Structure 1
Amino acid sequence: MQEEIRSFISIDVEDPKILSGVRAVQSSLKNVGADLKIVGGENVHVTLKFLGNVPPEMLSKVREVLNGLKFSPFTLELSGVGAFPSMSRITIIWVGIGTGVVEVENI
């Protein structure tokens, strides 16, 4: 039996202005001494749903459902910054959604 894969459903962030803002936040946190592993722009995303550990044989079914989704383009504005599990022990930096949150919830 193959090992389960930690999985989530996400939207890639490719807008240069958003990526620039994310880099600025990363830089600010690094400058105040946060012990961070900075991820590249290709790994910046908006997580829609965390699936947890998924058996590999289920991933093709998940992909099939996702590939069948249809939605119109929409504007997304990022708002607010936080961290998991806390700001004093950062492992993941998150940025909230302002404009576009309804559209993301409807996907």
Structure 2
Amino acid sequence: MANHYFIGIKIPLPEARSLVEQRDSWNLSSHKRYPAAEDLHITLVFIGADPEGEIRAVEQALQNIAHSPFDLKITGTGYFGKKERPGVVYAAVEESESLNGLQDKIMTALKDFNLTPDTKPFVPHITIANKWAGKDKWTEIPAFGPGHFSVEDFSLFRIEPNSTPRYVAIKTYKLKDGV
């Protein structure tokens, strides 16, 4: 199977551990996957496969992005799918012009490559459970307490489906002064 890639923000370990502890306190058995704290992230752009071997050039293009560090707040819980059978349960992140701006800059940096990044609308989130496998429907989605963290870098990740952690940072880019 070909390697798959994405660009994202790794959640700092103290905040990631807090999210995992909260999730684990819910005693879920409804999903197939419960990401480890080390794998928690916000996906900025899912790239998928690299059919033409451009990932090294993508590494170089991402170095040219100038964007100032910023803070993000976790505002609660959200889900994708039906509320009673959510395919993905996530920690919701507040709306952020800085986060949206960084995502826009990354999409622009990728436009000259023959990649097929995901074009769904950007919904910033931190997946904490996915792949619905439950028998009992949910009556409510448990809530995350508020949290916050600083975003000082982003990374190009390779997905290693049979490893822990599943997401390996190939290259990390420090945010530097920029708009």
* TM-score over 0.5 (shorter chain): yes
- 5 Å-filtered alignment, 1:23-102, equals 23-29=20-26, 31-55=27-51, 57-87=53-83, 88=85, 90=87, 92-98=88-94, 101-102=96-97
More helix by share: 1
- Listed as ranges, the gaps of 5+ residues in structure 2 are 103-179
Q: How far 1:74 sits from its partner (Å)?
A: 0.8
C-alpha separation in 2, matches of 1:54 and 1:61: 11
- Give the superposed CA RMSD: 2.5
TM-score, reference length from structure 2: 0.47
1:75 aligns to what SS in structure 2? strand
Q: Is the 8 A contact 2:16 2:38 kept in 1?
A: no
TM-score, reference length from structure 1: 0.72
C-alpha separation in 2, matches of 1:66 and 1:78: 26
Paired-residue identity, %: 22
Matched AA of 2:48: G
- Listed as ranges, the gaps of 5+ residues in structure 1 are none
Q: Is the 8 A contact 1:4 1:56 kept in 2?
A: no
Structure-2 change in CA distance of 1:102 and 1:13 (3 Å): same
More strand by share: 2
Of structures 1 and 2, the one with the larger relative CO (CA 8 A, separation 6+) is 2
How many residue pairs get aligned? The number is: 101
1:10 aligns to what SS in structure 2? strand
